Amino acid sequence: MKKGIHPEYGEAKVICACGSEIETRSTVKEMHVNTCSACHPFYTGQSTFIDSEGRVEQFRRRYAQAAANK
């Protein structure tokens, strides 16, 4: 590496909106993020997938009407 052209790489703190703090290394000393693994629904298991009418049922209903009109 060339000397004097790279930013200093050191300890950094990532602060989430939920209050969680993560220690890591970066060229930036402190970062603020909206979501992290402590509060993101995918990682906490609170994510829900609501499919009120399945995609297959929608397809069949839509094209059943078209077939009936022929």
| Residue 19, strand partner residues | none
CATH number of this structure's domain 1-47, picked from the four choices 4.10.80.400, 3.90.78.10, 1.10.1060.10, 3.40.50.620? 4.10.80.400
- The pLDDT assigned to 12 comes to 95
What is the DSSP code (8-state) at residue 30?
Answer: E
Segment among 14-23, 28-37, 55-64 with least mean pLDDT: 55-64
For 13-23, how does the pLDDT look when each residue is reduced to its tens digit (9 = 90+)?
Answer: 999 988 889 99
Q: Does the model's pTM come out above 0.75?
A: no
CA dist., res. 56 & res. 70, Å (int): 21
All structural domains of the chain with their residue ranges: 1-47
- The pLDDT assigned to 30 comes to 95
